Amino acid sequence: MSSPLLSKANELLTQGLNYRTTLQRLAELALPALATHCVIEESSIGGEMVLIAVAPANASDPSAPRQPEPARLPLLARGKTIGWITFSGAGQLADFETMRSELALRCSLALVLGRAHEEFVSQVAHKVRTPLTPLLLQSRLIRRTLEKPSPSPDDLQDALKMLTTIDEQVQRLSTLINQLADKSLPAS
């Protein structure tokens, strides 16, 4: 299904890595074409729903007809509900119900990709921090040794061992960064 609204939704999916911002923009995009109010929630690790995005209802006209019941659609990934999108009020488009389902699919995609990105960044940060800790400690110990007025031969030997540890950790970081770059760069 192709429409300007879904084209804009697809464009929003490619504009950033912060899925919460993307979901907020998708909720705002739904108004007024698909609803007068849109709420997106995600399921937390404990199973509780966490509010991610709210697109407020437009000022309502008291003489307007009563709005239909809210439509709550699941956000699915691998057959599991990972969140909900709720539309309140009638949409302006003739096929707004079909379009709501299409937008729910795009919200599911944004949520899955966003979570995967956060997990990836967390793992990379951990892998990079691990060799940095001994580097920092060893460099401080070497500084203390070299700042002594006259370090002993044993102190200098210990400093050389620490420099070896630093060299090993730098090599480890270099390997990790090269592996990361090899996996993230497109094949030529």
Residue-by-residue pLDDT tens, the chain, 188 positions: 669 999 999 999 988 778 999 999 999 999 999 999 999 999 988 889 999 999 985 445 555 555 678 999 999 999 999 999 999 988 888 888 899 999 999 999 999 999 998 888 888 888 878 878 888 888 888 888 889 899 999 999 988 988 888 888 888 888 888 877 776 555 54
User: How many domains is the chain partitioned into structurally?
Assistant: 2
- Give the pTM: 0.72
CATH number for 164: 1.10.287
Given 93, 116, 139, the domain boundary residue is 116
Q: Are 21 and 118 in contact (CB under 8 A)?
A: no
In terms of domains, do 153 and 82 share one? Answer: no
In terms of domains, do 85 and 42 share one? Answer: yes
CATH number for 35: 3.30.450.40
Query: Tens of pLDDT along 55-65?
Result: 985 445 555 55
Name the DSSP class of 9. Answer: H
In terms of domains, do 130 and 109 share one? Answer: no
In terms of domains, do 13 and 69 share one? Answer: yes
Query: Tens of pLDDT along 177-186?
Result: 887 777 655 5
pLDDT given for residue 64 in this prediction: 53
From the number of C-beta atoms within 10 Å of its C-beta (0-12, 13-18, 19+), residue 89 rates as buried
In terms of domains, do 25 and 83 share one? Answer: yes
pLDDT given for residue 188 in this prediction: 46
In terms of domains, do 30 and 62 share one? Answer: yes
Q: Are 165 and 134 in contact (CB under 8 A)?
A: yes
In terms of domains, do 14 and 100 share one? Answer: yes
